[in-house]
Structure 1
Amino acid sequence: MFLGLDLGTSGLKAVVIDEDQQIQAEATAALTVSRPHDGWSEQSPADWIAAAEQVIREIPAPIRAALRAIGLSGQMHGATLLDGADNVLRPCILWNDTRAHEQAARLDADPRFRAITGNIVFPGFTAPKLVWVRENEPDIFARVAKVLLPKDYLRLWLTGDHVAEMSDAAGTSWLDTGARDWSDTLLRETGLDRSAMPRLVEGSEPSGQIRRELADRFGLRPDVIVAGGAGDNAASGIGVGVVGAGQAFVSLGTSGVLFAANDGYRPAPETAVHTFCHAVPGTWHQMGVILAATDALNWFARLAGRDAAELTAGLGELQPPGKTRFLPYLGGERTPLNDAAIRGAFIGLEHATDRRAATRAVLEGVAFALRDCRDALAATGTRIDRLIAVGGGSRSDYWLAAIATALDTPVSVPVAGDYGGAFGAARLAIMAATGAGAEIATPPRIARVIEPNSSLSAAFDEGHARYRAARDAIRGLT
């Protein structure tokens, strides 16, 4: 048996699969986010440990006793700061925290960061957060002995070792992404050195073994391996079999991601596309990332006093975009804008705008933001031959039809099942324990394919043009 743990923003999910990759057990534990100031987003690492203990205990004892390896997946970019005794110094600053936008701009102005990492220094990345701490919480910065990403704090609890892997490390602004190693040059520029960084492994390699105390507590074998694992999107790529050039998926989670696998390293930071290491050796991936996908729909659902699923359930057949436009920039935007200050808007409201029209506008706004990501990926030379839909938002056929039509790309919907980060992490656990390679990361069986609606292609092209005009106008106001 092989356990995958996926540490998300709103919860931690556990999936156990057997050697045939059939799911044998699942468990989830909820997490909350603290927003003490505008643009801030934090979590207590102690809550992650409590959630991990909860989900492991919910796995039936006979299955726990048969576990051979654990894989880890998790939200990226978070700054978990530890002192020399591995005590947490402050709440973790999360991926969607934008307080360090000034520090990010300063680092990004140094051409070495883009040249070495292959990426813009985004405000949500880890390095500018450490500069913010150095400038605003100097007493804490002076005590920092180790900086860990969220899932790697779980690894510290599991194994007692400070270890990271390539896909997650690539989102820190400290990794030489082509060489797959920490950059001493970039670390020095943020007041750190290699001693503050965890040891690096590939995602499909072992990173350590379970601590004996935890093995005894949970009834595990003492030789359970903990795999390197992956950042959440790379783990989802393993989960849906997106590991080779031309393969891609669209994720409609809290954030929205258009993820494409690459056989080589092709950075293009000027596009605001993320170019990261993949979770298996010798591979990379690129992503266009928007900060609010289902987050935008859930925000509107709260505003409308309805459940998100209720809002989307009765929309019927795909409609041409209406006059009402929605910009989903609730907390800034990454691809292609790299703008932490921009904020969302409804534009073109009229008397005829009812709840259904506003819901469609929200879904269209996210689809058009993903089209911007598609265009940015295309500018790097990355091709997308097939697109698989994952994440909670993929349950809405209307939304998927809007995305397929906006991107002019068929969207494949897997058969019922969980193919996300936890499943991908469990696959990486198999690789680490057995020596298997990326060949086990096969695509899921496809239930149906949602084709672009050719009769609405022109209307969606016009809608995207109106969306971009609104986007450019709102940037001058925020």
Structure 2
Amino acid sequence: MYLGIDIGTSAVKLVCTDTDRILATSSVGIDTSSPQPGWSEQHPDLWWDATRDALNQLSGQAMLSGVKAIGLSGQMHGAVLLDHDLRPIRPAILWNDSRSARECDELRAVQSKIGQIAGVLPLPGFTAPKISWLKQNEPEHYSRLAHMLLPKDYIGLCLHGELATDTSDAAGTLWLDQAARNWHVGIAEATGVLPSWLPPIFDGTDVIGSVTAQAAAITGLKAGVPVVAGGGDAATGAVSLGATEPGRGFISLGTSGQLFVADREYKPNPERYVHAFAHTLPGRWYQMAAMLNGARPISWIGGQLGLSAAEVVALAETASGERLPIFLPYLTGERSPLGDPHIRASFFGLEDSTTRAEICRSVVEAIAFCFADAAQSFGDTIDSLPELAAIGGGSQSDLLLRLIATVTGKPIVRSLGSDSGPAFGAARLAACGVGALQEADLAVQPSTPDRFEPDEMAALSERLQRFRRLYKAVSVVD
């Protein structure tokens, strides 16, 4: 049995598998702090506490004794800042934090070719500009900095005691030379980072270490269980769907959203904010549109209306399309394809007669419209894809998948266990790392019992155009 641990933004999710089937799952929620406008933080110890609680849930199902290897997955771009004693200096600055916009402009000025080297132009969500911000604004914390990790790698440190990352998570920092698949010293130095602060880089199936006696004592895992490097959640989600070879693509609907296309070549397209990143497997890359607002607006509006996410979607199903407001879902700015950290969410067209159902419908539609913009930014790259698979918590909504299929023109398929994609992918990487699977096995696609075909566009097309015009009207980006 193989264990996948996914450090998400809203929850830590665990999956136990026998390589092909999900045998057990557990999940523990995590809170995010926003101490100032545009800030988004979590303390790394929250991830470790949640991981231990989720392991305890599995222990109650008598699962941990049979674990043969562990794989890691996690939210990308978070800056985990450690001192010489390997303790966090401050809360981690997350992927949806927008405080370092000015530092991004400065980085583009001194590294004019960064988009071609790092696979995307600088934006505040990435790790590198956060360190420039730290140096200027929190010098007392910067002076203590000795090591840097990504979120999943901090959990790896807690489990096996080593400093390490994988190619796919390194890819999301802006410090990685994507073609060479190694740290770029010039970009690191331009952001005030010493190369010695950055961890060694491994492939996702490489065994980094094993569960220490100390970690075993507090988690219930067996000491000596191998731990592989794993990957960022986009890459591990891809592994869960067999999206490791050209011609494979998927959408992810978690707190953030992604449109992902696998490749064996590095193909940067930075002007459209399409990310060209190294995959977690050797000799593979991918292109990805990354939206800061995936399914998160559904849970947000649910919180305002006292509804669960499922209730929001059910209410949205009841609304007609005749007098719906338009919703811009940019709660924390937007990355692909807008590159706009300043835009914020808004409703337009609210009337005295607007109902809760119509508000919910406009929120669900807006998420689909973001994927329409993402697909458009790829140009003809996705034309040859026969379909897109869907993973993440938002993939459980039939309405949302039907809308995305319609506005992108691509059939959307959903496999069993799609809401546990990154954790399942991490478990498969663990199985590969100890020889229970071969690399070729990771390209096997799961069965997809649910398929959503594009519908007639008509009225939805007009609403999509209004959505795009509204963004242009309120944006301050030239």
TM-score, normalised relative to structure 1: 0.94
Q: Which residue of 2 aligns with 1:98?
A: 98
* Pairs within 5 Å for 1:409-424: 409-416=410-417, 418-424=419-425
Amino acid corresponding to residue 18 of structure 1 in structure 2: D
Q: Which residue of 1 aligns with 2:70?
A: 70
The alignment partner of 1:331 has SS state of coil
Distance 1:241 1:322 in 2: 41
Structure 1 window deviating more from structure 2 (162-171 vs 200-209): it is 200-209
Q: Which residue of 2 aligns with 1:122?
A: 123
Amino acid corresponding to residue 34 of structure 1 in structure 2: S
Distance 1:108 1:379 in 2: 27
Question: Following TM superposition, by how much is the alpha carbon of 1:438 offset from its aligned partner in structure 2, in angstroms?
Answer: 3.9
Pair 1:382–1:99, CA change in 2 (3 A): farther
Contact 1:318 1:401 in 2 (8 A): no
Distance 2:137 2:312 in 1: 42
Q: Which residue of 1 aligns with 2:401?
A: 400
Contact 2:5 2:15 in 1 (8 A): yes
The alignment partner of 2:128 has SS state of helix
The root-mean-square deviation of aligned C-alpha atoms, in Å, is 2.0
Structure 1 window deviating more from structure 2 (120-129 vs 353-362): it is 353-362
Amino acid corresponding to residue 350 of structure 1 in structure 2: E
The alignment partner of 1:59 has SS state of helix
Contact 1:248 1:259 in 2 (8 A): yes
Q: Which residue of 1 aligns with 2:34?
A: 35
Distance 1:360 1:28 in 2: 28
Q: Which residue of 1 aligns with 2:471?
A: 471
Amino acid corresponding to residue 439 of structure 1 in structure 2: D
Structure 1 window deviating more from structure 2 (161-170 vs 319-328): it is 319-328
Distance 1:111 1:167 in 2: 23
Q: Once the two structures are superposed, what CA deviation does each residue of 1:206-251 show, in whole Å capped at 9, x if it has no partner?
A: 1222213323555544431111101011111111221122211112
Pair 1:197–1:461, CA change in 2 (3 A): same
Q: Which residue of 1 aligns with 2:88?
A: 88
Distance 2:71 2:369 in 1: 34
Candidates 436, 442, 445, aligned match of 1:443 = 445
Contact 1:387 1:409 in 2 (8 A): yes
Amino acid corresponding to residue 46 of structure 2 in structure 1: D
Q: Which residue of 2 aligns with 1:387?
A: 388
Contact 1:318 1:398 in 2 (8 A): no
Amino acid corresponding to residue 45 of structure 1 in structure 2: P
Question: Following TM superposition, by how much is the alpha carbon of 1:440 offset from its aligned partner in structure 2, in angstroms?
Answer: 3.3
Pair 1:411–1:63, CA change in 2 (3 A): same
Q: Once the two structures are superposed, what CA deviation does each residue of 1:296-333 show, in whole Å capped at 9, x if it has no partner?
A: 11222222333331122144489657552111111100
Q: Once the two structures are superposed, what CA deviation does each residue of 1:161-217 show, in whole Å capped at 9, x if it has no partner?
A: 100000011010100011110011111111222210001001122122221332355
Contact 2:326 2:349 in 1 (8 A): yes
Q: Once the two structures are superposed, what CA deviation does each residue of 1:263-313 show, in whole Å capped at 9, x if it has no partner?
A: 211011101111111121111111112212321112222223333311221
Pair 1:42–1:153, CA change in 2 (3 A): same
Distance 1:303 1:213 in 2: 43
Distance 1:315 1:358 in 2: 8
Amino acid corresponding to residue 137 of structure 2 in structure 1: N
Structure 1 window deviating more from structure 2 (379-388 vs 412-421): it is 379-388
Pair 1:396–1:204, CA change in 2 (3 A): same
Q: Which residue of 2 aligns with 1:297?
A: 298
Number of positions where the alignment pairs a residue of Structure 1 with one of Structure 2: 475
* Pairs within 5 Å for 1:4-43: 4-19=4-19, 21-43=20-42
Q: Which residue of 2 aligns with 1:58?
A: 57
Q: Which residue of 1 aligns with 2:462?
A: 462
Which 5+ residue runs of structure 2 have no aligned equivalent? none
Q: Which residue of 2 aligns with 1:199?
A: 200
Distance 2:70 2:330 in 1: 36
Contact 1:321 1:463 in 2 (8 A): no
Pair 1:356–1:337, CA change in 2 (3 A): same
The alignment partner of 1:385 has SS state of coil
Pair 1:65–1:369, CA change in 2 (3 A): same
Q: Which residue of 2 aligns with 1:79?
A: 79
Which 5+ residue runs of structure 1 have no aligned equivalent? none
Q: Are positions 1:259 and 2:260 aligned together?
A: yes
Contact 1:96 1:291 in 2 (8 A): yes
Contact 1:332 1:340 in 2 (8 A): yes
Pair 1:331–1:294, CA change in 2 (3 A): same
* Pairs within 5 Å for 1:121-140: 121-140=122-141
Amino acid corresponding to residue 268 of structure 1 in structure 2: N
Amino acid corresponding to residue 324 of structure 1 in structure 2: P
Amino acid corresponding to residue 34 of structure 2 in structure 1: R
Structure 1 window deviating more from structure 2 (57-66 vs 96-105): it is 57-66
Q: Are positions 1:178 and 2:179 aligned together?
A: yes
Q: Once the two structures are superposed, what CA deviation does each residue of 1:418-451 show, in whole Å capped at 9, x if it has no partner?
A: 5411100000001111162042342222122111
Q: Which residue of 2 aligns with 1:431?
A: 432
Question: Following TM superposition, by how much is the alpha carbon of 1:142 offset from its aligned partner in structure 2, in angstroms?
Answer: 1.5
Contact 1:321 1:460 in 2 (8 A): no
TM-score, normalised relative to structure 2: 0.94
The alignment partner of 1:132 has SS state of helix
Q: Which residue of 2 aligns with 1:157?
A: 158
The alignment partner of 2:63 has SS state of helix
Pair 1:218–1:477, CA change in 2 (3 A): closer
Q: Once the two structures are superposed, what CA deviation does each residue of 1:329-352 show, in whole Å capped at 9, x if it has no partner?
A: 111000111111111111122234
Q: Once the two structures are superposed, what CA deviation does each residue of 1:50-104 show, in whole Å capped at 9, x if it has no partner?
A: 1122222332385322222110000110111111111211111111111111111
Pair 1:217–1:31, CA change in 2 (3 A): closer
Question: Following TM superposition, by how much is the alpha carbon of 1:404 offset from its aligned partner in structure 2, in angstroms?
Answer: 0.9
Q: Which residue of 2 aligns with 1:312?
A: 313
Contact 1:245 1:383 in 2 (8 A): no
Distance 1:403 1:425 in 2: 26
